[in-house]
Amino acid sequence: MSSRRDAVHEILRQSEGFRSAQDVYAEMRAEGAKIGLTTVYRALQALADNGHVDVLRTDDGESVYRACASGDHHHHLVCRRCGRTVEVAGPAVERWAEAVGTEHGFTEITHTVEVFGTCPACSAAAKAG
Amino acid sequence: MSSRRDAVHEILRQSEGFRSAQDVYAEMRAEGAKIGLTTVYRALQALADNGHVDVLRTDDGESVYRACASGDHHHHLVCRRCGRTVEVAGPAVERWAEAVGTEHGFTEITHTVEVFGTCPACSAAAKAG
DNA sequence: GTGCAAGTGAAAACCGTTGTCAAAATCGCC
DNA sequence: GGCGATTTTGACAACGGTTTTCACTTGCAC
């Protein structure tokens, strides 16, 4: 229905890593798209609600979004320099989280797991520079 | 040196779970302490920098702080209702994160892992209510 | 007491995000 | 195609947590 939402989704699909709302907005405007910041936020929220994109919070409280290949539950290995992201599955971690929770009598266990590092390209660049 | 910072630290020590800066500030004022919000923020940042308290971000972007018993690396099992927190160690998770990173050629691997659930008291209360 | 560095806090600035509301686009129906 | 109803859009204002600013106070050395 909404071409704007699709446009936002498309930007994320073309991105290697997580992008912030402001970032997506800036890129769309730079490409000449006529879109408002409000609409970008709404599109991202809607996409996140439908599970079409993954959301996480950066250390400084910004929400960042990514169109992930897998719709299933998975985690991310994110380069802290360039933001490039690899989707990773971790059955062991899922089990561990569940076990830790039930062990203490907790129910309805959920968890957040993110792995950060410096990707090969960036560590090479750092060494060269 | 600063008695204010100690006071802030003390509030956290007496708390069961993570507390927000505003929350700590409100409590101190309620107790009659003469302190400014600015100072609370500064104290919390300093404590976090020195590793005396752990920090994490809530889903709505607020920073929350906790004085943890262990100075070592550990994770948290947090009740999503009352905020009560249990410190948990997860050697398996540490290894998994490291392995996932190196497997993709990433270096300087770090990770964030938090487990959320409903604690026994809160799930009992929910059932009763 | 004097001088200086560090600490403090009220108020303002900041910044990402969310709400408001009128204009514009789209849909359903004839 | 025409037309009213509904949805979407976006400029702008508000919001809320955090950070900065800056003048004032406090503690310490001399």
The predicted-structure confidence for B55-96, as pLDDT tens digits, reads as follows 999 988 999 999 999 889 999 999 988 889 999 998 999 999
Q: Which residue is nearest to nucleotide C7 (CA to C1')?
A: B2
Q: Quick one: average pLDDT of A42-70?
A: 93
From the list A58, A56, A54, the residue with the least C-alpha distance to A68 is A54
What is the distance between the alpha carbons of residues B77 and B112, in angstroms, rounded to a whole number? 13
Shortest Cα–Cα distance, B88 to chain A (Å): 8
Rounded Cα gap, residues B113 and A59, in angstroms: 14
Across the range A54-83, mean pLDDT stands at 92
**Amino acid occupying residue B116:** F
Closest alpha carbon within chain B to A108: B117
Q: Please tell me if residue B95 touches chain A, with a CB cutoff of 8 Å.
A: no
pLDDT at residue B126 in the model: 81
Residue B9 sits at φ, ψ, to 5 deg, of: -60, -40
Closest residue to A101, CB basis, from B61, B92, B115: B115
B59 touches strand C (CB under 7 A): no
In this prediction, residues A8-13 reach a mean pLDDT of 96
Mean pLDDT computed over B43-56? 94
Q: Do B59 and A61 touch (CB under 8 A)?
A: no
- Does the CB of A127 have a partner CB in chain B at under 8 Å? no
Nucleotide nearest to A1 (CA to C1'): C26
Owner of token pair 């390209």: A121
Mean of pLDDT over chain B: 93
Closest CB to A104: pick one of B86, B97, B109.
B86
Confidence of residue A1 (pLDDT cuts 50, 70, 90): very low
Q: Which nucleotides of D are covered by protein (CB under 7 A)?
A: 7-12, 17-21
Ligand-binding annotation for B94, yes or no, is yes
Residue pair A111/B117 in contact by the 8 Å Cβ criterion = no
Asked whether the predicted pLDDT for residue B129 surpasses 80, the reply is: no
Please state, in angstroms and rounded to a whole number, the distance separating the CA atoms of residues B86 and B79.
9
Q: Indicate if the pLDDT at residue A91 is higher than 80.
A: yes
Residue A2 pLDDT more than 70? no
Nearest CA distance, A100 vs chain B (angstrom):
8
Q: How far apart are CA B28 and CA B34, in angstroms?
A: 8
Alpha-carbon distance of A94 to A71, in angstroms, equals 16
Residue range B11-23: mean pLDDT, rounded = 95
Contact B77, B85 (CB under 8 A): yes
Q: Which two tokens stand for residue A30?
A: 């730079």
> Any idea of the CA torsion for B99, B97, B74, A18, to the nearest 10 degrees?
160
pLDDT band, residue A114 (cuts 50/70/90): very high
Q: Name the average pLDDT for chain A.
A: 93
Write down the residue that tokens 């060494």 correspond to: A127
Copy the structure tokens of residue B125.
Answer: 């209360």
